[in-house]
Amino acid sequence: MKNKQLILTKRPLGVPDADTWHLNEADVPALEDGEFLVENVFVSIDPTMRGWINDRKSYMPPVALGEVMRAAGTVGKVLQSKHEDFLPGHYVLGSGGIQLYTISNGKGWHRVDPTLAPLHKYLSVLGMTGFTAYFGLLDVGQPKTGETILVSGAAGAVGSIVGQIGKIKGCRMIGIAGGEEKCRKLIETYQYDGAIDYKSQKVSTKIKELCPEGVDIYFDNVGGDILDAALARLNFKGRVVLCGGISQYNATSVKGPANYLSLLANRGRMEGFIVFDFARRYGEAAKQLAEWVAAGDIYSDEQIEKGIENFYPTFLKLFSGEKTGKLILQVNDL
Ligand SMILES: NC(=O)c1ccc[n+]([C@@H]2O[C@H](COP(=O)([O-])OP(=O)(O)OC[C@H]3O[C@@H](n4cnc5c(N)ncnc54)[C@H](OP(=O)(O)O)[C@@H]3O)[C@@H](O)[C@H]2O)c1
């Protein structure tokens, strides 16, 4: 049996080019006791992958040169097993990397049930993406009914869920996204009360107009100039949830917030978090999100691209905005 694996070959400066990775063919080795073989089907494609290929201290070690590219999550089917808990035919969620087949010892892997939800949803609203929105907004942001919450990257995987959780909690939600179509989607599908098109509108002016009583929580997915514009409108005791900074991930020199003194003047708080911090409570988030989805209170979008050879153009879509909702690469048929 032949595997195809995406191997990291160099550390890019700025936007990665196509030869940052290459596709390798290798034999699938025989299983040892305690191992099982997974045929990966869906692979989560995330902005954080850009950080993993820098040789820099972060929340987890970088992917080494010559190693299979890491994926935050993969869903697949067990084909062969010498493990007592994971048996052929089981569907499993883990971190299988960008490759057609993965051999695992089960550490960090869980079974998922394809009869409860379509399998790709376990990488989206019912997985890390949903958990990030849930814990980031509820635990780090601590919203109160009636507050105004501003969200950047609002039509992305995390932002689209944050908007809907905020509405469930009785908050006024304003989203920022790129382009007219995405802004329409914010209001018509993701339940935002107002939308700002950062590509064609002046963000600071629009925040003033759509948040006339200021911003109680700013959920930041993008950083850069938009973070500064939000800080300028932060309310007394306002919270900035530092979830991501995608506008800076390819920057060779990261732009920090010039308006940080707004936190001082407003006795505000800006707090970063990594979803893994909440790993012990994933069960709580999964149950609650599944209930909201079943009740029709939360809708999630996934954009599924096909073929491991299409990893690179798919990856670029994270930064060009040619996507809505959660980006997923399907590497094998279901
Ligand atoms: N802290 C954590 O544990 C954690 C976990 C998951 C994700 N994250 C972070 O959360 C953020 C959102 O993740 P996601 O999974 O929702 O990603 P995503 O689906 O790719 O959404 C991010 C959105 O950012 C927008 N964007 C891209 N470049 C931009 C730029 N230069 N300026 C402004 N907006 C830009 C894009 O939409 P437009 O078309 O609107 O530009 C895109 O839809 C990322 O920064 C990610 O790294 C953090």
- What the chain holds in terms of domains, given with CATH numbers, is 2-124+300-330 (3.90.180.10), 128-276 (3.40.50.720)
CA of 245 from ligand 1 middle (Å) equals 7
Cβ of 162 below 6 Å from ligand 1: no
Cβ of 300 below 6 Å from ligand 1: no
Cβ of 324 below 6 Å from ligand 1: no
Cβ of 104 below 6 Å from ligand 1: no
- Residue whose CA is closest, atom 39 of ligand 1? 321
- Residue whose CA is closest, atom 13 of ligand 1? 158
Cβ of 124 below 6 Å from ligand 1: no
Cβ of 274 below 6 Å from ligand 1: yes
CA of 156 from ligand 1 middle (Å) equals 6
- Is residue 185 exposed (0-12), middle (13-18) or buried (19+ Cβ within 10 Å)? buried
Please report, in tens digits, the pLDDT of each residue of the chain (334 residues total). 899 999 999 999 999 999 999 999 999 999 999 999 999 999 999 999 999 999 999 999 999 999 999 999 999 999 999 999 999 999 999 999 999 999 999 999 999 999 999 999 999 999 999 999 999 999 999 999 999 999 999 999 999 999 999 999 999 999 999 999 999 999 999 999 999 999 999 999 999 999 999 999 999 999 999 999 999 999 999 999 999 999 999 999 999 999 999 999 999 999 999 999 999 999 999 999 999 999 999 999 999 999 999 999 999 999 999 998 999 999 999 8
CA of 235 from ligand 1 middle (Å) equals 24
Neighbours of 238 (CB within 10 A): 24
- Residue whose CA is closest, atom 21 of ligand 1? 156
* Rounded-to-integer distance, Cα 186 and Cα 197, Å: 10
The per-residue pLDDT for 89 is: 98
- Residue whose CA is closest, atom 24 of ligand 1? 153
CA of 243 from ligand 1 middle (Å) equals 9
